[in-house]
Amino acid sequence: MHQAGKLRIIATSGKERALATPEIPTFSESGFPSLAGEGWFGIYAPAKTPPATVAALSVEIQAIMKLPDLRQALVLLGLDPRGSTPAQLAEFDESELQQWQPVVAASGFKVE
């Protein structure tokens, strides 16, 4: 719809501009720094997976994420493909928890 000119996107919620639509500013760039959030995907293994197996999987996944055809296909879906190490994913998980935990608590949401 955007590319066809039938819809005007005023901003995106990511911390950086989207690869698929680099002409569209982020909310932060538009003067709304508190409006930030983005969807993401991670690949996890069971807790007792041997560290050597996790490391080997990580190397392969990072290599796959660098394949030009895969990257292009993901960008066309509106995704910004990135790879990371298990340590970087754990750090990211923690930062997401710190960002969203107060929002969930303020919403009154309770797991039943």
Does 61 lie in the same domain as 34?
A: no
Q: What count of residues does the chain have?
A: 112
Q: Which among 36, 41, 40 has a CA at the least distance from the CA of 12?
A: 36
Range of the domain at 102: 51-107
User: In the chain, how many domains are there?
Assistant: 2
Apex CA 23: angle with CA 19 and CA 29, to 5°? 95
Q: How far is CA 32 from the centre of its chain?
A: 19
Position 54 scores a pLDDT of: 96
What are 89-111's pLDDT values in tens digits?
999 999 999 988 998 999 999 88
What's the pLDDT at 26? 94
Low-confidence ranges of the chain (pLDDT < 50): none
Q: What is the pLDDT of residue 79?
A: 87
Q: Please give the structure tokens belonging to residue 44.
A: 């996890």
Q: Do 62 and 85 fall into the same domain?
A: yes
> How many Å apart are CA 41 and CA 21, to the nearest integer?
20
